[in-house]
Structure 1
Amino acid sequence: MLLARARPQVSLFRSLTLADIVLLVGAAILAVPTMFQVGEFNWTTEQGGHGPIVLATGLWLLWREIKTSPAERKPGNLVIGILGLGILLSIYCLARITGILEIEALAMYGALIVGAYMLFGGAFIRSIWFPLIYLALALPPPDSVVAAVTQPIKIAISEWAVTLLYALGYPIASSGVTIQIAQYELLVAAACAGLNSIISLSAICLFYGYLRHRTNFAAFVMIALAVIPIAVFSNFIRVLILILITYYLGESAGQGFLHDFAGLTMFSAALLAVFVIDSIFTRLLHLRSAKAAQ
C-alpha cells in the first residue's frame, strides 16, 4: 500500500537573497512616507474614513492568502520587472515632486506589486489577486475620477428628489446640484452623492463576499453588482430626509447632528440590504441545487 507523502510547506521568506532583502527595504522606504501622507490627508476626511479598516482587514487577508496559496514561488521575468519598476517609479517621483498624492499612492502601490512579482513570480501574484485589489480601495482615488463619478450622481439624485417632492406639493426647485426649498438653499455635496458609501460599501461587501463565496463566483459577482445601485438609492433617500429636515426644522438642523445621523442610518440600511439580497440569492441557489439533485 502506497501512502502519499505530504508536501512540505514552503516558507515565503526561505530563499530570500541579499538582493531580495534590499528590494524589500526599498519597498518600505517607498511606501512609508506615502502612506503617512495618505493617513494624514485622506483618512482623516469623510471620503477616506474607510481607509484604515480596509488596510487592516486587507493585510490580514493578504497574509492569510499568502500562507495558503499553492502557487509556485519563483522570481518573475527580470526584464518585465525592471521595465515596470522604471515606469512606475518615474511616475511616483514626478507625482511626489508635484504633490499629486493620489497618483503618487497608486504608482507606489503598483511598484510594490511589481516588486512582489520580481520576487515570487506571476503565478503567485495571480493566486492572491483579491487581497491586492481590495487593498487598493484604501488609497485615495484621483480627483478627476472623483469628479467624473460624483457629478452625474449628484445631478441625478438632485433631480429625482426635486421631482418627487414637487409632485407632492413642496415649494422646491433645483439648478444642477443646488436645491432651493422655501427660503433654504442646499448643495448636494460629494458626501451625499454616493461616492463615499459606494467605496465603503464596496470594500465591506467585497470582503464579506470573498470570505463567504470564495468558491462561488456567481454569488460573489452578484454581491459586487448589488452594491452600486443600493448605495445610490440609499443616498437618494438620505437627500430626501435632509431636505425635509431642513424644510421643517431649519438649516442648522439639516447640517448638524441629524445630517450625520441620517448618513449613518442610510449606510447601515444599505449594508443590511446587501446582506438580505445575499441571503435570498444563496437560498435560491440551494433550492435550485436541491431540485437538480432530485
Structure 2
Amino acid sequence: MTRTADERDGVRKPGSSPERYGFADLVPLLSAMRPYWVFIAGALLIALPTLHGVATQSWVTEQGAHGPIVLATGLWLFWRRWTEARTAATPGSTRLALLFYALLIPLYVTTRIINVIEIEGFLMYGLLLTSAYWLVGWPAMRSMWFPIVYTAFIFPPPDTVVAMITQPLKIAISEVAIQMLHGIGYPIAGSGVTIIIGQYQLLIAAACAGLNSLISLSAIGLFYIYIRHNANWRYALLLMLAIIPVAVFANFFRVIALIMITYYLGDEAAQGFLHNFSGLTMFLFSVLCIFAVDALASPLRGRLARGHAA
C-alpha cells in the first residue's frame, strides 16, 4: 500500500503544544489512520481474541491479577506520550515491517492453534508494535519506549521462565524459614520446597515464593517511578532495584505466617481465606515499603538531581 505525502503529513502534523495533552491531540493520528481502516480492523481481529485468552486464563489468577490495571494505565500512558511522539512520527520502512510480519505471523498462528497463551500474547504484542512502526516510525516509538515496555506486563511469563526463577527462590525461602523456626524450638523440618511442621506438610508454591508479588510490584513500581522520577533516570534505576529485595523480604514473612497458621489453626485454615488474605496483606505491605524507600532516599535523589544538573 502506497502512502501519500498528505497522509504522512497528517501523521506528523502538530497540534497543541507538547506541554498540554487531551483528546484533541489524537485528531492528527486518527485522521492519518482513516485510509487504513481495513488494516486496523485486521489488527483488532488479532488482538482481541488473544487479550480475551489472557484475561480468562491469566488475569483471574494471583499471578496475573495486575493485568487489567496495567492495561488501563498503559493505554493512558500511550495517550499521554503521543503529544510529544507525534512531532517525530513518520512512516517506517515497509520492507522491514513485512520482514517482521513474515517472522511473527507463522509463530503467532502456531501458538494460537496449540493454545500457548504465554507466548501467544507476546507474539500478538510484537505484531501490534510492528504495525505501529509501519504507521509512525522508529523515532515516535522510541519516544514512547516506557509505555511499550510497561504494557508488556499484561502478558503472563512462560511457565519455563517461571520455574527457572522460582525454584531457587522457593528453596532458599524454605530453608531460611525452617532454620529460623527450628532455632526457636518449633518441631519443623523440610527438604527442598516441602516443609513439615508438627503433623502437617506444606508445599511452597510459586505464589508463596514471591514471583507473583515480584511481577506485580515491578509493574506498579515502574509506573510509580516513571510518573514521579522519570526525569531522574539514575535514581529511578536504584529504586527499581529495590523492588526485588522488598518482594522477597515480604514474601518470606508470608511463608512464616502460613507456617504458623498451619501449625496453630490447621492445614484447612492455611489453604483457605487466610492464604489469600496473607498474600494481599504482603502485597500492600510491599507497596508501602517502596513508598517508604522512596521517602527515605529523598536526600540521595536530591544529590543525583544536582549532579545531573551540574
TM-score by length of 1: 0.92
Tell whether 2:295 aligns with 1:273. no
**Greater shift after overlay, 60-69 or 282-291?**
282-291
2:84–2:143 CA contact under 8 A, matched in 1: no
Paired residue for 1:127? Answer: 143
Q: Which moved more, 1:59-68 or 1:124-133?
A: 59-68
1:180 Cα deviation from its structure 2 partner: 0.5
Which sections of structure 2, spanning at least 5 residues, go unmatched? 1-13, 17-24
Classify 1:99/1:285 alpha carbon distance in 2 versus 1 (closer, same or farther; 3 Å). Answer: closer
Q: Deviations over 1:154-213 (max 9, x none)?
A: 111111111111111211111111100111100101110111100111111100000001
Q: Which amino acid aligns with 2:268?
A: S
Moved more, 187-196 or 274-283: 274-283
Q: Deviations over 1:252-284 (max 9, x none)?
A: 222222222221221111111111111122233
Distance 1:70 1:113 in 2: 16
Q: Which amino acid is the alignment partner of residue 113 of structure 1?
A: L
One of 12, 19, 39 as aligned partner of 2:29: 12
The residue aligned with 2:258 is 242
**Counterpart secondary structure, 2:61:** coil
Q: Which structure shows the bigger proportion of residues in helix conformation?
A: 2
In the alignment, is residue 141 of structure 1 matched against residue 157 of structure 2?
yes
Match of 1:3 in 2: none
Aligned with residue 54 of structure 2, among 34, 38, 43: 38
The offset of 1:54, in angstroms, is 0.8
Greater alpha carbon shift after TM alignment, 247-256 vs 267-276: 247-256
What TM-score do you get using the length of structure 2 for normalisation?
0.87
Match in the other structure for 2:129:
113
Alignment of 1:48-127 (within 5 A): 48-69=64-85, 71-127=87-143
Change (3 A) 1:107 1:270: same
Q: Which amino acid aligns with 2:70?
A: V
Q: Does 1:219 align with 2:235?
A: yes
- CA distance, structure 1, for counterparts of residue 298 and residue 101 of structure 2: 43
1:261 aligns to 2:298 (yes or no): no
| Cα deviation digits, residues 46-90 of structure 1 (max 9, x gap) | 111111111111111111111233641111111111101111111
Question: Using a 3 Å threshold, how does the CA distance of structure 1 residues 210 and 252 change in structure 2: closer, same or farther?
Answer: same
Judging changes above 3 Å, is the alpha-carbon distance between structure 1 residues 220 and 258 closer, same or farther for their aligned structure 2 residues? same
Which runs of 4 or more aligned residues in structure 1 lie more than 4 Å from their structure 2 counterparts after TM superposition? 7-10, 287-293
Tell me how far apart the structure 2 counterparts of residues 40 and 161 of structure 1 sit (CA, whole Å).
Answer: 34
Structure 1 stretch displaced more, 34-43 or 66-75: 66-75
Matched-pair contact (CA < 8 Å) for 1:219–1:278: no
Identity rate of aligned residues, in percent? 50
Q: C-alpha displacement at 1:288, in angstroms?
A: 7.0
Q: How big is each residue's C-alpha offset from its partner over 1:232-252, in whole Å with a ceiling of 9 and x where there is no partner?
A: 111111001110111122212
Any idea what the Cα deviations from partners look like across 1:205-229, whole Å, max 9, x if unmatched? 1000000011010121122111111
Q: Give the corresponding residue for 1:4.
A: none
